[in-house]
Chain A
Amino acid sequence: MQAHVQTDRSRALLAVLIGSVSLLFLLSTAVGRASIEFLDVIGAVIRGDLTPETLVFTELRVPRALLSILVGASLGVSGAAMQGLLRNPLAEPGIIGVSGCAAFGAVIAFYTGASVVIPMALPLGGVAGALLAVGLLYVLAGRRANTLTIILAGVAINAMAAALTALALNLSPNPFASLEIVFWQMGSLADRSMDHVWLCLPLMGVGWAMLLSSARALEALTLGEAAAQSLGINLAKTRVMVIFGTALAVGGAVAVSGVIGFIGLVVPHLLRPFVGYNPAKLLPVSALGGAALLLAADILVRILPTGVELKLGVITALVGAPFFLYLVHRLRRDLA
């Protein structure tokens, strides 16, 4: 009976999330500074008309909404996977430094002109940066690190990544480069195009596949490493899948959007009760939850009456940082 109830609950959650993402997607394409009649422009696009309104819709709004889904999903699923692998409730690409280093890698690829010659260099730079962060994390924190060590290592890696990113931007001969640090550290999806969607999609897709394939292993890991191994789980392979999957997904995401923090932290925690604390089921659900959260944040930055559009990282930090504090408070006995 219990199993049936769980499956029903999970199915209901999936349905709700898919519905929310679809609705938010439509809403995202309907929001923007230009006043466009939504139904009219949909009709025009279907007919194949080429007007300024359809251009704004297909070249500016749709890519932006798609990227919200792709980036949000990547951040959500990698947060859930890291929490499962490290069995650590505070693991998240932003906190442990993976996003920060991915931004550094992307900045090097972009501002040296490498991505002008080879466009794929941009997401690949992000992935390289992300892998560097994970490598450093293992070096600093070791294999059997406790929460505190991992968080401290993350703080150190983030500090270094931020400093190197700022240095790289200041050394660029282009006078605008040093001002763009705000984009890289706080994230934004403004003025992105379909080119960016095609750039990040392949690497993200592979990353998601790798992460989702580790679902069963993560479920077994909740019983502890020894028990998981006795169930036939290959721990080394799982580690590789999660690490590379995270690097691919987060590296690709940060390369096109900058660092957007806290989605990988908040979404898995909020949804865990609804999947019966099962890490396997949490993965796809976190992807959808992350997509929904980022779509909502991106809609919000466009309808808020601030003069200049807010960066996405500001919204996610306003939601995520208090949540982080709450988590630290709740887990303080387990953290030391």
Chain B
Amino acid sequence: MTHAKKQTCLVLLISLFSVAAFAAPTRIVSMNLCADEMVLALADREHIQSVSWFVANPDMSWSAEQAAGIPVNHGLAEEIIPLTPDLVVTGRFSNPATKDVLRRLGIPVFEISLATDLGSISRQIRSVAQVLQQEERGEGLVSAMQERFAQLGSGEPYAHLSAVVYEPNGYVAGVGSLAHEVIQVAGLRNLAVDLELVNYGQFPLELLIVNRPDVLIMNRLNDAAPSLTHAVLDHPALTKAFGAKEIVSIPSQAWACGSPKLLDAVAELRRAADLILASRTGLE
């Protein structure tokens, strides 16, 4: 191919992509778990070319079943470019080099923002819906979420209960994290706030036991391959300090991404809190 021909081809390709950007995207590729969840919820299945390999793993994603059958990618530009997408949805922390390559080839790349509370989740849903040109579906999701939130009712009865999300390696979810939002929406008090931990801070086991929260939220992957990190969650000190009712197992998929499924975690937490309140009043 001569140099001139190559240039013409490139210009044509780019203009095709640009034109395509104004119509609804029909060849959507998603590179990142949270992007996958949004795309799977909002776009037509036949328009989704590829999702990231995380979403196919049921240990990491709640949309695994929904994603079954869709080809997966590993976030590499050389996997994505041959798919000739007209929209690539990605996250803020996706590989910047990859995003750069895609943009230079004229492929529209949309970055979803970080969600930290229910408000930003709604905004994120609406902005992705707008890019996918599925505004109706987006509004549907948002109103369903708001309705669910209203149905949850007041968090008043739980106000005096404290909770802590204890993640592997001793990280505790503080202000600014979605896990914190789950505790807030449920109406409980996040112990990490009392201890002034912002976002994620490291918390030794000793302090967790001495500053005993009423509810300990952990994610014990019982079927997973072992690691020392997960073995600590079964430490005799924890199992002796907290009764079975006081430990709630909520998979970290619940707050890995901002999605309406966050409210499932809230419901789970409320259930556990109800049991604790019931057992306490039973003693009086």
Report the minimum CB–CB distance from B107 to chain A (whole Å). 30
Does B209 make an interface contact (CB < 8 A)? yes
Asked whether, in the complex, the Cβ of A194 is within 8 Å of the Cβ of B225, the reply is: no
**Of the 9-residue stretches B38-46, B70-78, B236-244, which lies at the interface with chain A?**
B236-244
Assess A34 versus B229: contact at CB under 8 Å? Given A55-B241, A56-B237, A308-B202.
Answer: no
**A interface residue count range (under 10 / 10 to 19 / 20 to 34 / 35 or more):** 20 to 34
Assess A52 versus B241: contact at CB under 8 Å? Given A60-B205, A191-B235.
Answer: yes
Asked whether, in the complex, the Cβ of B227 is within 8 Å of the Cβ of A111, the reply is: yes
Asked whether, in the complex, the Cβ of A195 is within 8 Å of the Cβ of B227, the reply is: no
Query: B196-218, CB under 8 A of A: which get 1 and which 0?
Result: 00000010111101101000000
Asked whether, in the complex, the Cβ of A177 is within 8 Å of the Cβ of B227, the reply is: yes
Assess A36 versus B210: contact at CB under 8 Å? Given A55-B237, A55-B240, A59-B240.
Answer: yes
Asked whether, in the complex, the Cβ of A52 is within 8 Å of the Cβ of B202, the reply is: no
Asked whether, in the complex, the Cβ of A193 is within 8 Å of the Cβ of B236, the reply is: yes
Does A148 make an interface contact (CB < 8 A)? no
Does A53 make an interface contact (CB < 8 A)? yes
Asked whether, in the complex, the Cβ of A177 is within 8 Å of the Cβ of B225, the reply is: yes
Query: B147-166, CB under 8 A of A: which get 1 and which 0?
Result: 00000000000000000000
In the assembled complex, the Cα of A115 lies from the Cα of B229 at a distance in Å of 15
**Which chain A residues in 170-210 approach chain B with CB under 8 Å?**
172-174, 176-177, 179-180, 183, 190-191, 193-195
Asked whether, in the complex, the Cβ of B210 is within 8 Å of the Cβ of A52, the reply is: yes
In the assembled complex, the Cα of A137 lies from the Cα of B231 at a distance in Å of 34
Does B232 make an interface contact (CB < 8 A)? yes
Q: Please give, as numbers and ranges, the residues of chain A lying within 8 Å of B232 by CB-CB distance.
A: 191
Does B224 make an interface contact (CB < 8 A)? yes
Of B202, B227, B236, most buried by chain A (CB within 10 Å of CB) is B227
Residue from A55, A113, A172, A308 within 8 A of B209 (CB atoms): A55
Does B228 make an interface contact (CB < 8 A)? yes
Of B206, B227, B240, most buried by chain A (CB within 10 Å of CB) is B206
Asked whether, in the complex, the Cβ of B210 is within 8 Å of the Cβ of A53, the reply is: yes
Does B226 make an interface contact (CB < 8 A)? yes
In the assembled complex, the Cα of A35 lies from the Cα of B204 at a distance in Å of 12
Asked whether, in the complex, the Cβ of A180 is within 8 Å of the Cβ of B237, the reply is: no
26 contacts between A and B (CB under 8 A): A32-B204, A33-B206, A34-B204, A34-B206, A34-B210, A52-B209, A55-B241, A56-B209, A56-B237, A59-B240, A60-B206, A110-B228, A111-B226, A115-B226, A172-B225, A172-B227, A173-B224, A174-B225, A174-B230, A176-B229, A177-B227, A190-B204, A193-B236, A194-B236, A195-B236, A307-B202
Residues on B facing A (Cβ under 8 Å): 168-169, 202, 204-207, 209-210, 212, 224-230, 232, 235-237, 240-241
Residues on A facing B (Cβ under 8 Å): 32-36, 52-53, 55-56, 59-61, 110-111, 113, 115-116, 172-174, 176-177, 179-180, 183, 190-191, 193-195, 307-309
**8 tightest Cβ-Cβ pairs between the two chains A and B:** A59-B237, A34-B206, A176-B229, A174-B225, A34-B210, A176-B227, A174-B227, A173-B225
Inter-chain pairs besides A176-B229, A180-B229, A193-B236, 18 sampled, C-beta below 8 Å: A32-B204, A32-B206, A33-B204, A35-B210, A52-B241, A56-B206, A56-B209, A59-B237, A110-B228, A111-B225, A113-B225, A116-B226, A173-B224, A174-B226, A176-B168, A176-B227, A191-B232, A193-B237
